[in-house]
A and B are shown apart, each in its own frame.
Chain A
Amino acid sequence: MSQAVLGAQVTPAGRRLRTSQFLLALNFAAVAIVLLLWWAATRLGWIAPIFLPSPGDVLHAGRITLEQGELLTDVLVSSRRVFLGFALAAAIAVPLGVVMGVWRPAKAIMDPFVSLLRPLPSITWIPLSILWLGIGEMQKVAIVFMGSWIYILLYTLESTRRVDPLLLRAARNLGASDVAVMREVILPGALPGIISGLKVTLAISWSCVLTAEMIAAQNGLGALIWQAKDWGNLPLVLVGMLCISLTVLVADWLALRLEWLLLPWERARRG
């Protein structure tokens, strides 16, 4: 029995490769089956086109808006709003979270505001933000900011507080000053947690921008979907939804690459 296995030369690496190929094939097969069912359901008239357009119609709508350049513009406009609001939130919330993590008075000052603001979904900020900022770019960026900063803050705070106190002792025992402890131990120790928080928050930022664009915007993916709905153009609604998925996937992939570059020791741990 064992000789037969040896004779077949199935190495563990080979088996892993075969398993991963099989799983990849399953990915494609699952998508293909769902597409086929979708096509069949619309083609055979199980579902009326006003409730679900056929894959062909969606493809067609996508090609037209893409050729007109409108689709790409909407993707870029929304991405820019997300990027600005998210970057602003990170630039403020990460340092604030670190300070709150190492200095208790700062946490005591911020705690009541965090408790009050955290339960508010970003959509509740829309009336005030329109009153203060109009319906221009700043308002969209503000909505993204308001919906993102508190999550980044909480992730940063938690990661900073969870840095192993033994490592702080060890650093001090090796002669590290306060500044050196911050730079050499607390920041690198909290970094993996901060980056995870940023990755989770990025998806939240996207949902914020879409909400803001659906309520008041001339362009962007949220506006595209909302206007398409008003015109009864269901294929275009689906095109917009697909674009959001693809854009967020690309953003996630970029974040993963960044993490890979910034955390070489985590790379070693995962082998």
Chain B
Amino acid sequence: MSFELNRKLAAPRAPLPTAANIDPVTADIIRGAFETVCFEAATHLGRAASSPIINSSNERNAAIVDANGRLAMGAIGTPQLTFVNQMMVRWALMNMAEYDIGPGDVLLSNDPDHGGGHLPDYCVYAPVYSADGELIVFVSLQAHQGDTGGKDPGGFTLEATDIFTEGVTFPCLKLVHRGARRKDVFDMVVRNNRFATIAGDLAAMIGGVEIAAQRLSALTAHHGADVIKAAINHSISHTERRMKEEFSAWPDGTYEGTVLIDADTMGTKDVKVHVACTVQGDRLTVDLTGTDDRQELVGVWNTFANSRSYVMTQVVAMVDPTIVKNEGVFNAVEIIIPEGCIAQPPPNKPAALGSFHPACEITEAVCLALSAVVPERAQPQLYKIGMPNAVIGFDANGMWMDQGVDCRSMDSSAVQGIDGWGSCPASLGNLLLSEAEDAEARFPILNISREMTTDGGGAGQWRGSPGSLNVKQVLSPTMAMAWMVSADHPLRGMCGGDDAIPYSNHFEWGSPGQYKIERTAQAQLPQDAVIAYQHGGGAGFGPALKRDPKAVKEDVLDEYVSLDAARSKYGVVLTGSLEDYTLEVDHAATEALRQQMGAAA
């Protein structure tokens, strides 16, 4: 639990020793089998868990980590979980004897200071041995739990100054010993968690890794341990080679990106994330030196393992998406994170909110830095929303919370050649949003509007997807909580594209008492009060004046872009009638206006 431990956990790992030579086809067949084992484990978890975060929203992941602590296969789930779990397994690997880890064991970790992300991301994992007792791999499952037993339900405390405020921490806890459930330990974990379904969810995670461990044992027996190890080595080195081939095609140089967060949860302004990406031959270095290290900041601390993971989430978004995600991606990239900055906090800092900000600003800064290098893949993988408005009320059955999480359209930026589209960036795309008809049947809420706002996306040669304006009315007195960021510093445009529009949030909207949320809010709303949350939308790519005028015309017809903005942002003059769908581009006038605007700029 120290910077020194972080260094040890992140140190490069050697290939597995093996006497076997393997042909690429056999190696790839074994890789496919590993991937399917991950799918089976994640599916089992999704089926057996009762938390809707896991079984409906899909916030879960399965991975295989080899005996040297290398990510051998990941995974089915959210990228940031994929790239964290091996760090927790490495802590167990450093303590095999001390913790008496052996066949049939199942372990639990979530400790931010021992390789973890934030506390809610429980990692449950099990070792797999060959018939003659050699450790081959660990199989691990991660899932976001609804509570962590800290001060506030859910595990997020705006004013937390240490990890103990946020909940119970497990560096490495044995849940199952040699195949036998440790009920005392299990009950202790369950007792320290408010979430009603934690016992079932934890049991589902244990069941999932046990099934996967059995399948991996069978695979090892079928192919032989040496062949399995050779297949892992082959797959990791193949990925490393593929990553390096991608980097080799990038021009050498150092590319920088700086992104600011409006403020921490206590109002300290302009929290900075700085990234320098250096491409040299087939090497990529991502250096976070220059990132904010003011120790008094509150809420904006991202764990070391999480910071590495978010760097990698963005880097893999910027290479061939078919490259297999394993330790090879880390082997190909050097990540430098200064000790003590908000991306590698000193021990015991809170970790919950840091997984949103600055974690997402790390992906944004990496993307910004590399946007000129890989313009065709320069879409930041993030959520710029501070947090969705939490709408909480009480009825005869106790507390309820509107499950209709306000996210509709946010942060889908353009890349070169493709306008931003859909509800959110790609890497969040397996989380399923709930709908108004489900939410309103359960809660005294009326969803009034969730449409995209015309001109709500950053302009550009390729356009960001417009953010949505989410308007809802509470039909009984209700509490609402909010945390605002990305208003002063909205999502950045790429390669000359415009930034997204600022997030903005109003309570008691349309009434004489209407007010704007500047930073945080914890408010009592009267019956029939309306809240309106404008999401920032995606940013643009490339200069708006270069957008094909015909595409602008189509955007105006679709009301993504207004006639005014067509002229003022894009320099496109249209004739005809929007009402009658008879718009045409006045090419001569457009050319003249663009020249004039270009000269003025």
Tell whether A and B belong to one assembly. Answer: no
The chain A residues found within 8 Å of chain B, CB to CB, are none
- Residue numbers of B with Cβ under 8 A of A are none
